[in-house]
Amino acid sequence: MLLDSVLNMCHSRSDKTFFVGYSGGLDSHVLLHLMAQARTLRGIDVRAVHINHQLSSRAHEWEQHCKKTCENLQIPYQSFTIQLDLSANDSLEAIAREKRYSILSALLKKDDVLLTAHHQDDQAETLLLQLVRGAGPKGLAAMPTLKSLGQGFQARPLLLYSRAELKKYAIDNGLHWIEDESNERLNFSRNFIRHEILPLLKKRWPSVTGTLARVSTHCAEAQHLLEGVAKQDLLQSQGRVAGTLSIQKVLSLDSARQRQLIRQWIKDQGFLLPSAVKLNQIQTDVLLSASDKVPVVSWKNCEVRRYLDDLYILPPLVSHNEYQAIKWDRLETPLEIPNVGMLKAVDTSNQCFRKDIPNVSVQFRIGGEQCQLPGRQCHHRLKNLMQEWKVPTWRRDRLPLIYVNKELVAVVGYYINSEFVKKENCLFILTSLKKKGG
DSSP string, 103-125: HHHHH--TT-EEE----HHHHHH
pLDDT at residue 421 in the model: 63
Predicted local distance difference test score (pLDDT) of residue 426? 45
What are the residue boundaries of the structural domains of the chain, listed by start? 2-209, 237-314, 326-430
Mean pLDDT over 60-67 rounds to 93
What pLDDT does residue 125 have? 94
Q: What local confidence, expressed as pLDDT, does residue 199 receive?
A: 94
The per-residue pLDDT for 332 is: 73
Closest CA to 293 of 361, 148, 394, 382: 394
pLDDT value of position 284: 95
CA-CA-CA-CA dihedral for 286, 289, 294, 296, to nearest 10: -20
What is this structure's pTM?
Answer: 0.75
Is the pLDDT score of 90 beyond 80? no
Q: What is the mean predicted confidence (pLDDT) over 329-343?
A: 81
pLDDT-derived band at 58 (thresholds 50, 70, 90) equals: confident
The length of the chain in residues reads: 438
Evaluate whether the domain defined by 2-209 bears CATH number 3.40.50.620.
yes
| Residue 427's pLDDT band (cuts 50, 70, 90) | very low
Q: What is the model's pLDDT at position 122?
A: 94
Establish how many alpha carbons lie within 13 A of residue 316's alpha carbon, considering only the half-sphere containing its beta carbon. Answer: 9
Per-residue pLDDT at 89: 67
State the number of CA atoms in the 13 A half-sphere of 124 facing the CB.
Answer: 24
Interatomic CA distance for residues 204 and 23, integer angstroms: 32
Q: What is the distance between the alpha carbons of residues 262 and 80, in angstroms, rounded to a whole number?
A: 38
Is the pLDDT confidence value at 283 over 90?
yes
What per-residue confidence (pLDDT) applies to 168? 96
pLDDT tens column, 20-46: 999 999 999 999 999 999 999 988 999
Residue 225 confidence (pLDDT): 95
The tens digit of pLDDT for each residue in 160-196 reads 999 999 999 999 999 999 988 888 888 888 899 999 9
Looking at the predicted structure, is the pLDDT value of residue 93 above 80? no
Q: What is the mean pLDDT of residues 385-407?
A: 89
Q: What angle do CA 71, 76, 80 make, to 5 degrees?
A: 100
Max CA separation in the chain (angstroms):
90
What pLDDT was estimated at residue 425?
44
Looking at 3.20.20.70, 1.20.59.20, 1.20.1070.10, 3.40.50.300, the CATH number of the domain 237-314 comes to 1.20.59.20
pLDDT at position 423: 53
pLDDT in tens, 284-294: 999 999 888 88
Measuring CA to CA, which residue among 83, 47, 84, 77 is closest to residue 62?
77
β-bridge mates for residue 362, sequence order: 326, 402
3-state secondary structure labels for all residues of 360-376: EEEECCCCCCEECCCCC
Given a cut of 70, whether residue 431 has pLDDT beyond it is no
